[in-house]
């Protein structure tokens, strides 16, 4: 017996104080008022101390889960019940309303504690895998409604039915009868408590047999004492060590303690062994930075370094970072191995350097491709110009080769070459233009006509370009009009003596004196003409929408 007590010293002391509280309760029945009052106060102080001690141990021992919250709230309800009973029997004298409402307030603890017990059992059954869910909290809704039913008894009298005037009603035995609300409250309390016990017993079926045996033993002791009070102590007025409320509260406390120690509820017992077995370097110190707990791999750092790590992380070496934070009673320190992180950073730096070099090569390649594209575009333009101009150049070359400077028709041939060369020059300029860089109103066509007319004078033809110089023709129309004009000039050059050319709103108008009407070759645009005496009038109209105007 003494060996077991030495092994479980805290539990033994707790049970001893609980027995002492029962003895004090018996001594409150003495006829000596001073002793009775002293024993009552001592009884109350022991109960409050035991509850506070147990609640503080719950706060320290249990992990921060919903189960711990439910148990602590249940402990607070127990404290409320004890305090309200003490206040009623020792502080309230002759105040019927206050005494009555204190009795009503008993139902707060009597209704909440079984619900919180069942919620804890439900949480233990679900386990930590469903810690995030809290559906059982909705069970508090009917509990609060029942509490409201009890606290508002003065208005409906469904819980206690007074047999005396309400202003004299203090819920003293014999002054009331039970209403249907009281049976509902008792039924709720008993049903919920039984549901919680059944649920716990179902959980313990898969655990070692001792757990169920302990719970059944506590329930047996509690049931025996309840029946003893109900059928023996109360009828015979025998001095009792405990009242029913204390038995119910501490009986439930004992069941919860068994659940905690059997790990049905997450329990952080043996935290010293937990820290000692950690493979990660962790250090716990008190407020003066004295080492309290440390893991299997201790942190070797001076007090100054530990203080510095509380402000910001400190590197013990290139790859080890020391971090610290404040706890409730001291400080926690741990290290983080950044070897892999630094290795990956170096790999990323190498990859970034390689990517940077590749990006530079790609940039150079893009610039070369851009230059090549420009050259290809220019070459394509030059090839197109050469393809268009080559037939005229071949004619010029053939004409110059077929005549010698001493020949009589050399000047005339040379003049023809000048006319053809003027067209080649202006046609090249037009082919170098594009629709984007050609102004909307331009004089490109007029300048081409003017230059051709100027070189026609070398052939003995009085020619001139007159009238409006600017047009808003698109580039395609300018090329078509100029090509058709050149074809007409080449056809009429042998018989033409005089010519004027001018621009119209939709094309070119020509007037010339010719010895005869020449046959026109196939032209890009149709040519309209009429002859009056020796003057030939011609009109070349540009296309609009694919058709000549």
Interval 336-350: pLDDT, tens = 887 888 788 888 888
pLDDT tens digit sequence for 124-135: 777 654 555 567
pLDDT tens digit sequence for 225-259: 888 887 887 777 788 788 888 888 888 888 888 88
Q: What is the pLDDT of residue 2?
A: 43
The average pLDDT across 374-384 equals: 64
Phi–psi pair at 2, nearest 5 degrees? -65, -30
One domain, residues 425 and 451:
yes
One domain, residues 110 and 156:
yes
Q: What is the pLDDT of residue 34?
A: 84
249 touches 78 (CB < 8 A): yes
Q: What is the pLDDT of residue 399?
A: 66
522 touches 542 (CB < 8 A): no
One domain, residues 380 and 470:
no
One domain, residues 85 and 118:
yes
One domain, residues 474 and 508:
yes
Q: Is the pLDDT of residue 427 over 50?
A: yes
Total domain count, the chain:
4
Q: What is the pLDDT of residue 282?
A: 81
Per-residue pLDDT band for 313 (boundaries 50, 70, 90) equals confident
One domain, residues 359 and 426:
no
Last residue within a domain, chosen from 376, 402, 428: 402
Q: pTM to 2 decimals?
A: 0.52
Give the integer Cα–Cα distance in Å for 484 and 528.
Answer: 12
Q: What is the DSSP letter of 39?
A: H
One domain, residues 112 and 209:
yes
- CA torsion 464-469-472-476 (nearest 10°) is 30
Q: Is the pLDDT of residue 277 over 80?
A: no
Reported as half-sphere exposure (CB side, CA atoms, 13 A), residue 250 has a value of: 26
pLDDT tens digit sequence for 150-176: 899 888 889 888 888 888 888 887 888
One domain, residues 301 and 382:
no
Q: What is the pLDDT of residue 89?
A: 74
The average pLDDT across 95-120 equals: 86
Q: Is the pLDDT of residue 548 over 60?
A: no
The average pLDDT across 48-59 equals: 89
- Domain of 280? 273-337
One domain, residues 162 and 296:
no
Q: What is the pLDDT of residue 412?
A: 65
pLDDT tens digit sequence for 471-509: 888 888 888 887 888 888 887 878 888 888 898 888 889
Helix (H) / strand (E) containing 324: strand 320-326
């Amino acid at each position: 017996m003494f060996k077991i007590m030495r092994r479980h010293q805290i539990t033994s002391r707790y049970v001893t104080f609980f027995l002492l509280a029962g003895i004090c309760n018996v001594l409150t029945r003495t006829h000596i008022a001073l002793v009775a009052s002293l024993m009552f106060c001592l009884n109350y102080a022991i109960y409050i101390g035991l509850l506070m001690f147990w609640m503080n141990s719950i706060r320290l021992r249990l992990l921060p889960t919903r189960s711990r919250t439910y148990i602590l709230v249940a402990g607070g309800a127990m404290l409320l019940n004890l305090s309200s009973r003490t206040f009623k029997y020792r502080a309230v004298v002759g105040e019927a309303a206050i005494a009555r409402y204190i009795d009503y307030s008993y139902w707060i603890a009597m209704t909440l504690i079984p619900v919180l017990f069942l919620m804890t059992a439900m949480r233990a059954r679900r386990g930590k895998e469903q810690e995030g869910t809290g559906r059982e909290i909705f069970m508090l809704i009917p509990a609060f409604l029942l509490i409201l039913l009890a606290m508002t008894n003065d208005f409906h009298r469904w819980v206690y039915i007074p047999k005396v005037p309400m202003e004299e009603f203090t819920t003293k035995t014999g002054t009331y009868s039970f209403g249907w609300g009281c049976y509902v409250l008792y039924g709720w309390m008993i049903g919920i408590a039984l549901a919680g016990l059944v649920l716990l017993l179902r959980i313990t079926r898969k655990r070692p047999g001792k757990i169920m045996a302990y719970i059944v033993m506590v329930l047996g002791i509690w049931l025996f004492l309840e029946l003893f009070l109900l059928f023996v102590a109360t009828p015979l007025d025998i001095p009792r060590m405990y009242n029913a409320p204390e038995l119910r509260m501490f009986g439930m406390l004992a069941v919860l303690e068994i659940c905690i120690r059997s790990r049905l509820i997450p329990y952080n017992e043996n935290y010293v062994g937990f820290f000692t077995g950690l493979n990660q370097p962790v250090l716990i110190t008190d407020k003066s930075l004295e080492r309290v707990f440390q893991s299997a791999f201790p942190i070797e750092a001076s007090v100054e370094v530990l203080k510095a790590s509380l402000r910001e992380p400190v590197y013990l070496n290139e790859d080890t970072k020391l971090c610290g934070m404040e706890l409730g009673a001291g400080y926690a320190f741990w290290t983080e191995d950044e070897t892999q992180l630094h290795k990956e950073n170096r790999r990323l730096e190498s990859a970034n350097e390689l990517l940077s070099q590749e990006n530079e090569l790609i940039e150079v390649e893009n610039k070369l491709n851009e230059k090549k594209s420009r050259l290809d575009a220019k070459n394509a333009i030059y090839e197109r110009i050469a393809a268009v101009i080559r037939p005229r150049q071949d004619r010029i070359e053939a004409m110059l080769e077929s005549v010698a400077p001493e020949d009589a028709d050399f000047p005339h041939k040379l003049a023809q070459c000048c006319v053809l060369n003027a067209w080649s020059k202006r046609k090249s300029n037009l082919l170098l233009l594009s629709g984007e860089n050609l102004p909307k109103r331009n004089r490109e066509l007029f300048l081409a006509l003017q230059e051709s007319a100027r070189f026609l004078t070398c052939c003995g033809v009085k020619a001139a370009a007159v009238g409006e110089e600017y047009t808003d023709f698109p580039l395609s129309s300018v090329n078509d009009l100029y090509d058709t004009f050149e074809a007409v000039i080449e056809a009429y050059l042998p018989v033409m003596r005089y010519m004027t050319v001018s621009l119209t709103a939709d094309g070119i108008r020509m007037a010339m004196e010719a010895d005869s009407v020449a046959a026109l070759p196939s032209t890009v645009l149709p040519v309209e003409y009429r002859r009056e005496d020796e003057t030939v009038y011609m009109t070349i109209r540009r296309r609009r929408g694919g058709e000549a105007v």
